[in-house]
Amino acid sequence: MWTYLSRLERCLTLVGLSALLGGCASLGGGALPEMGRARTALRAAEEAGASAEPAAQMYVALAQEHLERASGRLAVGDRAGAVGLARRAELDAEVALLAARETGLRDAVHRTLDDTGQISDEAAKINEVARRRAGR
Helix %, strand %, coil % of the chain (to 5): 90, 0, 10
Q: Which is nearer to other proteins, 29 or 81 (CB)?
A: 81
Q: Which is nearer to other proteins, 43 or 110 (CB)?
A: 110
66-81 in b/e burial notation, b at 16+ Cβ within 10 A? bbebbbebbeeeebee
By the rule CB under 8 A, 99 interacts with other proteins: yes
Instruction: Report whether 83 contacts 34 (CB < 8 A).
Output: yes
Smallest gap from residue 107 Cβ to other proteins (A): 9
Q: Which stretch binds other proteins (CB under 8 A): 2-10, 11-19, 27-35, 85-93?
A: 85-93
78: left (phi over 0), alpha (psi -120 to 50) or beta: beta
By the rule CB under 8 A, 54 interacts with other proteins: no
SS3 48: coil
Report the interface residues with other proteins, using CB under 8 A. Answer: 80-81, 84-85, 87-88, 91-92, 94-95, 98-99, 101-102, 105-106, 108-109, 112-113, 115-116, 118-120, 122-130, 132-134, 136
